[in-house]
Amino acid sequence: MNDRDDNDLASSLSAYLKGYSTYVRTAQPRPQGRFPVTSARHRRLLSSAVAVLVAAVIGVPLGVALLLHSGGTRSAVGVVQGPAEVSDLHMFSPTSGWAWGGGSDILHTTVGVQQWTIVPPPVGRFNVIEVAWVDALSARILASSGSTQNVGTYQLVGWSTDDGGATWTPGQSFTALDETVQSIYSATALDFVDRTHGWFFDTQVGTEGSPIFLFRTIDGGMHWSQVETTPARGTAAPGALPVSCAKYGMAFADSTTGWVAGGCVDGGPFFEVSHDGGATWRPQPLDCGTGCAVNAPQFTSPLDGDLVAANGTPLLFATTDGGRTWTQRAEPPATFVHFINADDGFALGLTGNNSSAVVWTTRDGGRSWQEASRTAGSGASATGPASDIDEIDFVNASLGWATPVDISSEPPNNVATPNTAPFTFWQTHDAGATWSLVTPTFLRGSTVDSGVVQGTLEAVGGAAPGTPRPLKGSITLRDSDGTVFTATAGSDGVFLVKVPIGTYAITGRSPLYDSGKADCPSSGPVTVTVGATIRVVVACSEK
């Protein structure tokens, strides 16, 4: 390509990019959990700042007082500054639950939302990309070797805990994604129906005809196997999820039956069901009209579940037979719907030009909805949540929490924006009619993030096979991310090295074997777990 072509490309880019400045939205989304932006944006963000301020003034003393009377938690080592944002809050009882503070800050509580222990899985340089709360003590997460941007293949490692995050166990790493089409709209989901059966769903939302990868574990995340692959183009294998349509998510009701949901540009819903753990799929009819898009269902018991669809207006469907049939309920007031059992549910959305946050309740399985509370979009008060609500979570028909939106993402390195505001929940004891602020205290749990590899470097075989001969030399341990650790074997061949937990390929070299030019392998990769001592033999085979 010559200079003229380069100039043409630059001119075309400039002209093309102007389109981003001149686009005017005409299709405004309906009220939903992720609120639309309105002309009242300025007033709303100011009210958010006020809400945070109120939390700081009122909540901190409250949190400290609660801490003094809480009796502490099992492995806490001190009060620390908590995360600026919290998502995925889910309480299994009024006192026990989980939340995600971003990064590796997994939060666990046994004393209620006013005090959390940060129990980070020792993922090292990996990034936590998905979390799944199984029960009050068990959690499963996935950590990725890649950046949070897209592109290419990366390694995933599942981590599990069954003791509230006091100890974490890594699973075997696996390759998760080899995107044939780059897209920023990656959609992932991690779903466990019990401590052992789980699925990881990976696709690209924004692309009609996006590739799909579905992995399954039947041992709590220690091992994952790919059970479904749909290419970005061409034809899917018989029984696989079809090419075309956008896929929004996945959910399983039990160890065998699950759904993948989405929407198609040709107007039909995308709603596929599997009855064999995700290996094969077939369409399930759902009467929601043309232009319908479907969200993944949620289950509150093996039989009772709900799903939200949209064809211009939100639609709610419910099942009482484990998903064999879905019956349409009354039009829900928002697309963020959260049921705690077959009857009791909550919806969160916005209404009006001032984007007031509104919570609705149902006591009859979504057949009717009642407005519980609303607050003004400007001038946030202490009587209810500000409009910047991200999620709601209820543990019973009256007690619940609203999580504010993450307005404080870290700035780039060259921008000095201190992030000092404490995180604040809104709490209700009367099904959302009235709310109060809770500023939690955070403690950091003690975790050990390393183990020991101990072994010997030996010469085996040769003209006179018999007792292996120890070799002095060097040992190399390479983890799945390519990070290298080294150790030295003495004249007795023994080496010992402390390394971060993970899976390592181990090789050794000795000046007494092939003049130090050849690698001697261990019998296979070793997985180092928290606090464990792994024993290996690195053998140099002599002819």
Partner 1 sequence: MIHGQSAPDAAEFEELLAAERGHLFALAFSILGDAGYAEDAVQETAAAAWRGWATRTDPERTRAWLMAIGVHQALHRRRWLTRSFSALMRNAERAQIDQHLEADGRYIDLHRAYGRLSRQQRAVVSLHYMSGFTLTECAELMGCSAGAAASHLSRALSRLRKELQHE
Which residues, numbered 247-266, are part of the site for partner 1 (CB under 8 A)?
248, 263, 265
Q: Which of 132, 142, 246, 443 contacts partner 1 by CB under 8 A? A: 246
User: Least distance (Å) from partner 1 to the CB of residue 390?
Assistant: 9
Distances (CA, A) of 342 to 4, 222, 273, 301: 66, 33, 21, 8
Q: Is the Cβ–Cβ distance between 88 and 133 less than 8 Å?
A: yes
Which SS3 state, helix, strand or coil, does residue 187 take? strand
Binding of residue 68 to partner 1 (CB under 8 A): no
The DSSP H or E segment spanning 68 is: helix 60-68
For partner 1, the closer CB: 177 or 499: 177
Which SS3 state, helix, strand or coil, does residue 57 take? helix
For partner 1, the closer CB: 309 or 501: 309
Binding of residue 36 to partner 1 (CB under 8 A): yes
Binding of residue 13 to partner 1 (CB under 8 A): yes
Stretch that binds partner 1, among 47-55, 281-289, 435-443, 501-509 (CB under 8 A): 47-55
The encoded tokens of residue 60 equal 């901190």
Binding of residue 214 to partner 1 (CB under 8 A): no
User: Least distance (Å) from partner 1 to the CB of residue 58?
Assistant: 15
Q: How buried is residue 209: exposed, middle or buried, by Cβ count under 10 Å (0-12/13-18/19+)?
A: middle
Binding of residue 99 to partner 1 (CB under 8 A): no
Enumerate residues 363-392 that contact partner 1 by CB under 8 A: 388
Q: Which residues contact 442 (CB under 8 A, 6 or more apart)?
A: 79, 80, 81, 82, 83, 101, 107, 115, 116, 117, 118
Binding of residue 2 to partner 1 (CB under 8 A): no
For partner 1, the closer CB: 94 or 152: 152
Residues recorded for the chain: 543
Count of chain residues binding partner 1 (CB under 8 A): 82
Alpha-carbon distance 347 to 432, whole Å? 10
Enumerate residues 264-283 that contact partner 1 by CB under 8 A: 265
Q: Which of 291, 468, 500, 525 contacts partner 1 by CB under 8 A? A: 291
Q: Which of 336, 339, 426, 442 contacts partner 1 by CB under 8 A? A: 336
Which SS3 state, helix, strand or coil, does residue 418 take? coil
User: Least distance (Å) from partner 1 to the CB of residue 71?
Assistant: 33
Stretch that binds partner 1, among 74-82, 114-122, 158-166, 402-410 (CB under 8 A): 402-410
Q: How far is CA 314 from the centre of its chain?
A: 25
User: Least distance (Å) from partner 1 to the CB of residue 320?
Assistant: 24
User: Least distance (Å) from partner 1 to the CB of residue 263?
Assistant: 6
For partner 1, the closer CB: 151 or 237: 151
Nearest to 48 by CA among 357, 386, 389, 418: 386
Q: Which residues contact 508 (CB under 8 A, 6 or more apart)?
A: 457, 471, 473, 474, 475, 476, 489, 519, 520, 522, 538, 540
Binding of residue 293 to partner 1 (CB under 8 A): yes
Q: Is the Cβ–Cβ distance between 495 and 477 less than 8 Å?
A: no
User: Least distance (Å) from partner 1 to the CB of residue 527?
Assistant: 28
Q: Which of 37, 65, 80, 237 contacts partner 1 by CB under 8 A? A: 37
Nearest to 404 by CA among 435, 429, 431: 435
- What type of residue is 228? E
User: Least distance (Å) from partner 1 to the CB of residue 17?
Assistant: 4
Over the window 419 to 448, marking each residue x when it contacts partner 1 by CB under 8 A and - when it does not, the resulting string is x-x---------------------------
Of the chain, the end-to-end C-alpha distance in Å amounts to 57
Binding of residue 467 to partner 1 (CB under 8 A): no
User: Least distance (Å) from partner 1 to the CB of residue 18?
Assistant: 7
Over the window 100 to 139, marking each residue x when it contacts partner 1 by CB under 8 A and - when it does not, the resulting string is ----------------------------------------
Alpha-carbon distance 313 to 231, whole Å? 31
The DSSP H or E segment spanning 264 is: none
Enumerate residues 481-540 that contact partner 1 by CB under 8 A: none
* CA within 13 Å, CB half, 202: 25
Binding of residue 16 to partner 1 (CB under 8 A): yes
Enumerate residues 164-193 that contact partner 1 by CB under 8 A: 181-189
